[in-house]
Amino acid sequence: MGANMARRLKDCGYTIGAVYDVRSDVATALATELGSTAASSLAAVTAGADIILTVVTDDAAMDAIFARKGDSLLKGATGRVFINCATVSPAIHVEVAKRASKAGAAALEASMASSITQARNGTLYLMVGGDESVFGQVKDVLSKLSDDGKLLRYVGTSGKAAQLKALVNMVMNINTAGLAEGLALADAVGLDLSMVREVFSQTGANSRVLATDGEDMQNRDHSCFFSAAHAAKDSGIALELGLKAKLNLPMAATAFAQFTRMTQLGLGELDKSGIAELTFKGRAPKPKKPTKAKKAKAPAKAAPAKRAKK
Amino acid sequence: MGANMARRLKDCGYTIGAVYDVRSDVATALATELGSTAASSLAAVTAGADIILTVVTDDAAMDAIFARKGDSLLKGATGRVFINCATVSPAIHVEVAKRASKAGAAALEASMASSITQARNGTLYLMVGGDESVFGQVKDVLSKLSDDGKLLRYVGTSGKAAQLKALVNMVMNINTAGLAEGLALADAVGLDLSMVREVFSQTGANSRVLATDGEDMQNRDHSCFFSAAHAAKDSGIALELGLKAKLNLPMAATAFAQFTRMTQLGLGELDKSGIAELTFKGRAPKPKKPTKAKKAKAPAKAAPAKRAKK
């Protein structure tokens, strides 16, 4: 995602001051492509740019790149604006914003509700959280990534965008898990699934995930765009928010349990459409029966991703 | 629904041979409007028409109008085609088709996935189950009700359309219950719900029910288009199919439990969007505490439908 955002901004005339990746060969290749520099440290990234976009895997990585001590993006960060695009917890965004402020810098979150192609084309759906005046400062850059700002939304203070992103994925996961049950039952009673999907698309059963995942569920094509493990993680973030708010969210809890079960069965790296492997008759991987002598858990094999993703 | 279908067919040049309703004043008024006859018995309906469309409330009503003895649509039914449009169980459709066949007639099911306005305009989404050759005989009439057949689908043998309709509603109910949780959590963490709905609509959280029910959930406008009690009934039909097929459907079961809880709380006659009354903070109706002397259940009051439905 980060590389494609850099490519897009280069196309739009911005100078890419520095690029950084924990895999230094990847960073070097990208720097060469973009006429940029592969920074040798986090501090060197900050030294080389006014606006720093980050995309990391999880809270721990966010904590690490914005470390209080040692090599850190916060070194010499006075006047810099950090835009953090990864889907991480609301709490870490709030924490990073505090640390940035102490370092004389500012941090925004720009949660993405789109994928790699949209990053390359500058048509990401971006939800921004943080100080609104800081948002104003970097709005031009963000607009270049979000269809000239048509897909850019200021959501609220720090943490709010991450909350909203978790909510988007929570609802998406519920719809996905529900669709997998509908198609599984249709299959079990002998209905033609292509016809069923067409009927769903014309009725109250229609949803975005029907369009993105319905055919893949039918064809068992689970090459990964958004993994079941990620789905479980995001539903977990949302459920934690729900717990704090003392809300009863049985649908979210059930979807979370389903995606968690996928990871437990060794299916966590399948696309979220792989949830259909749990619901269709005859598909669910059966954990091997432990013998009397040896009761260790036998993780089931992942279902094969049968075809290349279109 | 039945009255509007009759109006539409009259507009298209068909003669409405007879109309029937258990409320005879309703039947008389409609007959006057359509230049038709209010049949005094079920048998009189069959005597007055070649094709008989029925829309009843439940399985028991289907069983009654197609009774084996006494007044019945099956009396003198040789050569007639019955088209049964109500959302009832697959089993009763199969049973009625058998009885019709014995009476020298034929019965199709034409499950509707649309509402009153579409019936009047002839733009119903119709899923037809039954003998395919019989479907061919009445295809012209059905086309007039389904946008010149653009929204007409032959689904399979008797019972298949009812199965599919139950599946459509099962998935719709899951998406509805899930959306109610997403909006409730967004509200609890202080996000602006109009903004959230807009974001949902642009992302993987999008669904038909977001468009039809999202704003109503926000505004607590639960005037009834499709009741929670109906939602519970249809999810129940689907779950029974799932049970027979030995499928594990935790999302469907959870949605069923939520809509059933609505009926238990006295909210069954709210629109399905009323599920948000269970999930939003501060909305859930609290059953009155039973006093020590009197432990009878105190059904909670239904939330008010605040505005007229657009």
Give the gap in angstroms from C-alpha A215 to the nearest C-alpha of chain B.
16
Residue B234 pLDDT exceeds 80: yes
CA geometry: angle at A183 spanning A179 and A184, to 5°? Answer: 110
Q: Report CB contact under 8 Å: B200, A168.
A: yes
Edge-to-edge strand order for the sheet containing A106-112?
A: A51-54, A81-84, A106-112, A126-129, A152-156
Contacts of A178 in chain B (CB under 8 A): 170-171, 174-175, 178, 251-252, 255
For an interface test with A, the pick among B174, B195, B239 (most A C-beta atoms closer than 10 Å) comes out as: B174
Side-chain half-sphere of B126: how many Cα atoms within 13 Å?
A: 31
**pLDDT over 70 for what percent of chain A?**
92
Give the gap in angstroms from C-alpha B148 to the nearest C-alpha of chain A.
16
Contacts of A187 in chain B (CB under 8 A): none
Q: What is the pLDDT of residues B117-163, one digit of tens each?
A: 999 999 999 999 999 999 999 999 999 999 999 999 999 999 999 99
pTM for this entry: 0.86
Q: Which of A53, A110, A42 is nearest to A76 (CA)?
A: A42
When CB atoms are compared, the residue of A179, A188, A199 closest to B247 is: A188
- Output the 3-class SS for A111-141: EECCCHHHHHHCECCEEEECCHHHHHHHHHH
Q: Report CB contact under 8 Å: A184, B249.
A: yes
Residue B43 pLDDT exceeds 70: yes
| Cα–Cα distance, B283 to B100 (Å, whole number) | 49
CB contact set of A65 (below 8 Å; sequence gap of 6+): A42, A54, A56, A72, A73
Contacts of B208 in chain A (CB under 8 A): 203-207
Going from the N-terminus, what domains does chain A have, and what CATH number goes with each? 2-158 (3.40.50.720), 163-279 (1.10.1040.10)
Residue B306 pLDDT exceeds 70: no
Contacts of A177 in chain B (CB under 8 A): 174, 251
Helices (H), A66-203: 90-102, 116-121, 132-145, 160-188, 193-202
| Cα–Cα distance, A180 to A277 (Å, whole number) | 8
Contacts of B191 in chain A (CB under 8 A): 155-156, 160, 163-164, 167
Question: Quick one: pLDDT band at residue B308, thresholds 50, 70, 90?
Answer: very low
Q: How many CB pairs under 8 A join A and B?
A: 234
Give the gap in angstroms from C-alpha B37 to the nearest C-alpha of chain A.
35
DSSP count for chain A of H helices, then E strands: 13, 5
The whole-number pLDDT of residue B289 equals 52
The whole-number pLDDT of residue A128 equals 97
* Mean local confidence (pLDDT), A14-37: 96
When CB atoms are compared, the residue of A168, A192, A203 closest to B199 is: A168
Element (H, E) at A242: helix A228-244
Q: Report CB contact under 8 Å: B251, A248.
A: no
Residue A309 pLDDT exceeds 70: no
User: To which residue do tokens 């976009």 refer?
Assistant: A53
More confident call, B52 vs B88: B52
From A114-128, A146-160, B71-85, the region with the lowest mean pLDDT: A114-128
The whole-number pLDDT of residue A224 equals 86
Question: Quick one: pLDDT band at residue A294, thresholds 50, 70, 90?
Answer: very low
Contacts of B146 in chain A (CB under 8 A): none
Q: Report CB contact under 8 Å: B153, A198.
A: yes
Q: What is the pLDDT of residues A30-46, one digit of tens each?
A: 999 999 999 999 999 99
Q: What is the pLDDT of residues A239-287, one digit of tens each?
A: 999 999 999 999 999 999 999 999 999 999 999 999 999 999 999 776 5
Q: What is the pLDDT of residues B260-278, one digit of tens each?
A: 999 999 999 999 999 999 9
The whole-number pLDDT of residue A115 equals 79
| Reported ipTM | 0.86
The whole-number pLDDT of residue A38 equals 97
Give the gap in angstroms from C-alpha A62 to the nearest C-alpha of chain B.
23
From A298-302, B180-184, B222-226, the region with the lowest mean pLDDT: A298-302
Residue B301 pLDDT exceeds 60: no
Question: Quick one: pLDDT band at residue A300, thresholds 50, 70, 90?
Answer: very low
The whole-number pLDDT of residue A295 equals 42
Q: Report CB contact under 8 Å: A185, B257.
A: no
Q: Report CB contact under 8 Å: B190, A156.
A: yes
Element (H, E) at A108: strand A106-112
* Mean local confidence (pLDDT), A183-200: 97
- The answer to whether A5 touches A110, Cβ cutoff 8 Å, is no
Residue B309 pLDDT exceeds 60: no
Q: What is the pLDDT of residues B202-229, one digit of tens each?
A: 999 999 999 999 999 999 999 988 899 9
Q: Which of A167, A117, A113, A160 is nearest to A135 (CA)?
A: A160
Q: Report CB contact under 8 Å: A249, B167.
A: no
Angle between the N-to-C axes of helices A2-11 and A132-145, in degrees from 0 to 180, rounded to the nearest 10: 80
Largest CA distance in chain A: 67
3-state SS, residue B82: strand
Q: Report CB contact under 8 Å: A196, B170.
A: no
The whole-number pLDDT of residue A308 equals 39
Give the gap in angstroms from C-alpha A43 to the nearest C-alpha of chain B.
35
The whole-number pLDDT of residue B125 equals 93
Q: What is the pLDDT of residues A76-125, one digit of tens each?
A: 999 999 999 988 899 999 999 999 999 999 999 999 987 789 999 999 99
DSSP string, B103-155: TT-EEEEEEE-S-HHHHHHTB--EEEES-HHHHHHHHHHHHHHBTTTTTEEEE
Give the gap in angstroms from C-alpha A77 to the nearest C-alpha of chain B.
31
Q: Report CB contact under 8 Å: A178, B247.
A: no
